[in-house]
Amino acid sequence: MKFKKISALFITLSLVVASVFLPTSAQAYTISGFDIKSRNAVFASLDNGSVMYSKDADKKAYPASLTKVMTAIVSMENCDDLDAKITVPEDAISSLIGTGTTMGGLEEGEQISVRDLLKMLLVCSAADAANTLAKHFGGGNIQKFVDMMNAKAKSLKMDNTHFMNPHGLHDDNHYSTANDLLKMALHAYDIPGFMDICEEYASTIPATNKTEQRTIVTTNYMINPNTDCYYKYARGIKTGFTTPAGRCLISTASKDGYNYICVLLGAEDTDYLADRNEFNDATNLFKWAFENFEHRQIVDSKKIVCEIPLRFAWDSDFLQLYPENNVYAVVPKNISDESLTYDTVFGSDRVNAPIKAGEVVGYARIICAGEEVGTVNLVAKDDVGINYLMFFKQVVDSLISSLAFKILLGGLLIAIVMLIVSNIAYKNKKHTRARRVNKIRKF
């Protein structure tokens, strides 16, 4: 049984190592009919997280005002009441003078709710709102808030991201990647109330102690029905722009129960709204996905996937393996079940009895059109008993053939030979001494 435990431990460790170094949900199909003009892009299903298109998604880029999504995350997660009012500090405004950034028209000493500041932050991309939120939730210190942003990024495993400010104005050390920003957006997407703000194309900010009622309009023209870039299925999330960063966008879209998200960075800036590449790229990706993909079952837990050699069993030399559960994925509509294949991963080239029903033996990567669309554990369907005669024979054979045994046996033989030689030498010496004694006595 000790041999069985060691074998099981080896398989478990091997599977852990494999799960670290092999992708579990990476997927990227080839698009056709259009080109993605943005320098960096990632497009994924919101329904199961599978990545469907990727372009330089791990390459360092500047996020510009997409930074404000992280500002919103940290603010919302540290706020007990979104309707609580806070006071706009002087340096939240003065520090932005001369930068040319988008402002929300806040005034020093203005008292405004966190909710309205979030609207200004996410809808019209107001940098003064970003500074105000940062100073408040940073305990009066914007740098402390930026540290909170970086800590949050680390917790989301945004390993190639570093923030220098809460608004996204250019700094060489303020950077991210499309894949990291996707992680950020997916987290924000699940925060209650976040998407309600992001999907507003216009919002009314009530009068405050300093200003009259004002109306703000979104910078995301995909959700504004009054623009040429409008796409009726789009929802949120945020735009961004600086000259080094180019045009940036995080957007989602929902249609017929299907939901997608894209992150686009580094689109070329143009003078004509209809030519804005980030909006065109997003619209093309959404249309491509809605027209060509469907969500369906791709793995049946009742159907055998493969067999693996089995040792120490009474009546079988192979163990049949089944999926642990049914698997569903977003796949091309024209893909048949026969086109789905399995790439199996095991910790060893065989398994040892006994095996319990439902015991995980390995896993399979499900491949569709050359791309991975999911993974599933592979399990034994029934209990398999152990043949102890075969088991102990293997133990003995392994022991005899092991290097340690050979060394031990060799050492034992050498010791026996040395003992025999020593015994012979001793007897010879004793015999010689006896002969000398006899000679002396005769003399």
Mean pLDDT over 362-383 rounds to 87
Mean pLDDT over 310-325 rounds to 84
Chain Cα centroid distance, residue 268: 29
Measured CA angle at 153 (ends 149, 155), to 5 deg: 115
DSSP bridge partners of 250: 238, 263
The answer, yes or no, to whether residue 20 has pLDDT greater than 80, is no
Domain count, the chain: 3
Distance CA 375, CA 24 (A): 6
288 and 309 inside one domain: no
Mean pLDDT over 92-105 rounds to 95
Classify residue 85 by burial, with Cβ atoms within 10 Å: 0-12, 13-18, 19+: middle
Among 330, 422, 323, 418, which residue's Cα sits nearest to residue 375? 323
Distance CA 414, CA 411 (A): 5
Higher local confidence (pLDDT), 372 or 259 = 259
The answer, yes or no, to whether residue 84 has pLDDT greater than 80, is yes
Mean pLDDT over 230-239 rounds to 97
Structural contact between residues 122 and 197, judged by C-beta atoms closer than 8 angstroms? yes
174 and 226 inside one domain: yes
Judge whether 397 lies within some domain. no
**Average pLDDT in the chain:** 86
95 and 234 inside one domain: yes
| Per-residue pLDDT reduced to its tens digit, 35-72 | 999 999 999 999 888 899 999 999 999 999 999 999 99
| Per-residue pLDDT reduced to its tens digit, 195-218 | 999 999 999 999 999 999 999 999
Cβ atoms within 10 Å, residue 152: 18
Q: Which domain holds residue 232?
A: 40-294
The answer, yes or no, to whether residue 395 has pLDDT greater than 80, is no
| Per-residue pLDDT reduced to its tens digit, 104-148 | 999 999 999 999 999 999 999 999 999 999 999 999 999 999 999
Residue 21 token pair: 């170094």
Q: How far is CA 272 from CA 227, 341, 428, in A?
A: 12, 46, 112
CATH of the domain at 371: 2.60.410.10
77 and 134 inside one domain: yes
Q: Enter the DSSP assignment of 29.
A: P
Classify residue 306 by burial, with Cβ atoms within 10 Å: 0-12, 13-18, 19+: middle
The pTM of the full predicted model, rounded to 2 decimals, is 0.76
Judge whether 260 lies within some domain. yes
Question: What pLDDT shows up at residue 53?
Answer: 94
Distance CA 282, CA 237 (A): 12
Judge whether 280 lies within some domain. yes
| Per-residue pLDDT reduced to its tens digit, 282-305 | 999 999 999 999 988 889 999 999
| pLDDT band per the 50, 70, 90 thresholds, residue 16 | very low
Question: What pLDDT shows up at residue 26?
Answer: 41
Among 380, 397, 392, which residue's Cα sits nearest to residue 316? 380
Candidate from 18-22, 277-281, 295-299 with smallest mean pLDDT: 18-22
Among 292, 291, 285, 376, which residue's Cα sits nearest to residue 331? 292
The answer, yes or no, to whether residue 411 has pLDDT greater than 60, is yes
| pLDDT band per the 50, 70, 90 thresholds, residue 412 | confident
Distance CA 66, CA 79 (A): 21
Q: What percent of the chain has pLDDT over 90?
A: 61
Q: Enter the DSSP assignment of 161.
A: -
Distance CA 313, CA 351 (A): 10
Judge whether 238 lies within some domain. yes
377 and 429 inside one domain: no
279 and 307 inside one domain: no
Question: What pLDDT shows up at residue 250?
Answer: 98
Would the CA dihedral through 231, 234, 235, 237 be positive or negative? negative
Among 276, 267, 65, which residue's Cα sits nearest to residue 181? 65
The answer, yes or no, to whether residue 421 has pLDDT greater than 70, is yes
150 and 205 inside one domain: yes
228 and 358 inside one domain: no
Judge whether 394 lies within some domain. no
Structural contact between residues 13 and 347, judged by C-beta atoms closer than 8 angstroms? yes
Residue 160 token pair: 């190639």
Question: What pLDDT shows up at residue 274?
Answer: 78
373 and 416 inside one domain: no
Judged by DSSP in three states, 214 sits in: strand
The answer, yes or no, to whether residue 436 has pLDDT greater than 90, is no
